[in-house]
């Protein structure tokens, strides 16, 4: 993150905008801020940023709408920064085209790490001469989301690349496929019998692609912590270490996939960090 890059911050809260301006400015970014969705959209068009941070709750419009409208013309990395930490909101944002998701309050070091991680991910892909519904282009070396057939703009075609867009709630990785709309999962065409939590866990990992998802993130996204008596550490079934529950679900998921943790084909453990696609 030493190169001078451009970021557009779209957030209704002045204090949050100030914090993001300071944190990202210190990280070497040229920062432009907007307090509304429409003004933020105009900034994205004008500045063509490398990264956008976007709140889902805006004073003039729905954050999801702004996210979808940005994806209509821009390949920029989009980090959702919002107070909404429920699984439904998170998955909806990823399906609409978000690259990462962060729940307020903002921790500056985590913010910089997430932005840095996004910028290391592959953004473009090579397009074959003819793209058909049965031959959807790869979104990344590790993840393919279903892509609608579309005409590639002349400049992009000249460069031989097109953005990963046109998500239709379907993801595939080495023969493992899920459809989040019907909540169906198959492996090599064989239906997988997954629990609700196992499906949601797999969905999150496929959406994140090559990015690492921490146990803490998964615990929050899957709603595995009971906040009883003001103590957020009390987990499901009385355990004080809900991260162990994630390990259990990962183990069950691997068993159903026939995966080997030592030589993973689908789910890889990143020691001291979390999980990602193998």
Extents of the domains making up the chain: 5-119, 131-277
Q: What confidence score (pLDDT) does residue 122 get?
A: 53
The 10 Å Cβ neighbour count of residue 166 is 17
Contact 80, 96 (CB under 8 A): no
Q: Is residue 124 classed exposed, middle or buried when 0-12, 13-18 and 19+ CB atoms within 10 A define those classes?
A: middle
- Please tell me the distance from the alpha carbon of residue 239 to that of residue 174, in angstroms, as a whole number: 35
Q: What confidence score (pLDDT) does residue 242 get?
A: 63
Q: Output the CA–CA distances (angstroms, integers) from residue 191 to 35, 91, 195, in the order listed.
A: 46, 22, 13
Q: What confidence score (pLDDT) does residue 271 get?
A: 86
Contact 40, 34 (CB under 8 A): yes
Contact 173, 139 (CB under 8 A): no
Q: Does domain 5-119 have CATH number 3.40.605.10?
A: no
Q: What confidence score (pLDDT) does residue 121 get?
A: 65
Q: What confidence score (pLDDT) does residue 95 get?
A: 80
- Please tell me the distance from the alpha carbon of residue 82 to that of residue 102, in angstroms, as a whole number: 7
- Please tell me the distance from the alpha carbon of residue 63 to that of residue 49, in angstroms, as a whole number: 18
**Location of structure tokens 């592959």:** 122
Nearest one of 185, 193, 1, 220 to 101, comparing CA atoms: 220
**Rounded (10°) CA dihedral 262, 267, 268, 272:** -110
- Please tell me the distance from the alpha carbon of residue 22 to that of residue 273, in angstroms, as a whole number: 27
5-119 and 131-277 in the same fold = no
Q: Output the CA–CA distances (angstroms, integers) from residue 133 to 52, 95, 145, 174, in the order listed.
A: 30, 19, 12, 18
Q: Does domain 131-277 have CATH number 1.10.10.10?
A: yes
Report the chain's terminal Cα–Cα distance, integer Å: 26
Q: What confidence score (pLDDT) does residue 81 get?
A: 95
Walk along the chain (278 residues) in steps of 10 and give the mean pLDDT of each run. Answer: 78 95 94 96 94 96 94 89 88 84 91 84 38 33 37 29 40 88 88 87 86 85 56 40 79 92 92 88
């Amino acid at each position: 993150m030493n190169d001078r890059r451009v970021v557009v911050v779209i957030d209704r809260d002045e204090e949050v905008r100030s914090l993001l301006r300071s944190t990202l400015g210190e990280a070497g970014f040229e920062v432009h801020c907007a307090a509304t969705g429409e003004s933020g959209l105009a900034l994205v068009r004008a500045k063509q940023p490398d990264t956008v941070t976007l709140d889902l709750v805006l004073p003039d419009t729905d954050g999801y709408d702004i996210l979808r409208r940005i994806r209509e013309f821009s390949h920029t990395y989009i980090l959702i920064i919002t107070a909404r930490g429920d699984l439904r909101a998170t998955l909806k944002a990823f399906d609409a085209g978000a690259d990462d998701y962060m729940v307020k309050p903002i921790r500056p070091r985590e913010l910089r790490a997430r932005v840095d991680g996004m910028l290391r991910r592959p953004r473009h892909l090579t397009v074959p001469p003819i793209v058909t519904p049965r031959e959807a282009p790869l979104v990344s070396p590790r993840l393919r989301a279903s892509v609608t057939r579309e005409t590639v703009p002349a400049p992009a075609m000249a460069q031989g690349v097109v953005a990963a867009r046109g998500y239709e709630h379907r993801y595939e990785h080495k023969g493992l496929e899920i459809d989040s709309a019907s909540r169906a999962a198959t492996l090599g065409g064989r239906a997988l019998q997954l629990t609700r939590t196992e499906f949601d866990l797999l969905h999150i990992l496929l959406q994140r692609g090559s990015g690492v998802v921490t146990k803490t993130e998964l615990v929050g996204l899957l709603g595995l912590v009971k906040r009883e008596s003001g103590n957020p550490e009390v987990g499901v079934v009385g355990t004080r270490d809900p991260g162990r529950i994630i390990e259990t679900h990962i183990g069950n998921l691997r068993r159903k996939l026939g995966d080997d943790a030592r030589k993973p084909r689908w789910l890889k453990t990143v020691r001291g960090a979390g999980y990602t696609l193998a």
